[in-house]
Amino acid sequence: MAYVQNGRSGNSAASPSSVPTSLLVLGGMAILLGLTLFGYRVMQTVGYAIAKLDFTTGLAAQTAAALCVLAATAAGLPVSTTQILVAAVAGAAYSQGSPIQSRTVARILLAWVLTIPISALVSVAVHWMVR
């Protein structure tokens, strides 16, 4: 939404300086709503359904995910923290010798693949509606 607002006002899409506070609040509320509705399910999937981790392996997964996010941010790469954490959990489980639930991982991968075209189509539809 901020990119759209900046584009309409003639600013660079990467310039957040002219984004109205109301858009920032609306975005924050959308994130809060998503966490409220789906956060528990996501935490259950990442925390238990991919693999069973002990404390130290979970710490390794979290640390690896944080380092990857920091490196990507420093490089200016847009990354999904959830995707990085899922990969880190699977990698940590593999290194621990824990069985990885391949069906759960396959469902997650399918969701990642479908998210891009579905998001693009929804974006086109919304743009046509508000145009």
Question: Left (φ > 0), alpha (ψ -120 to 50) or beta: where does 19 sit?
Answer: beta
Q: What pLDDT, on the 0 to 100 scale, is given for residue 88? A: 95
How far is Cα 110 from Cα 87, in angstroms, rounded to an integer?
14
Residue 107 Cα distances to 14, 25, 130, angstroms: 33, 32, 33
Q: Does the pTM exceed 0.75?
A: no
Q: What is the mean pLDDT of the chain?
A: 87
Q: What pLDDT, on the 0 to 100 scale, is given for residue 93? A: 92
Name the phi and psi angles at 34, rounded to 5. -60, -45
Classified as helix, coil or strand, 115 is: helix
Q: What is the pLDDT of residues 84-130, one digit of tens each?
A: 999 999 999 999 998 999 999 999 999 999 999 999 999 999 989 98
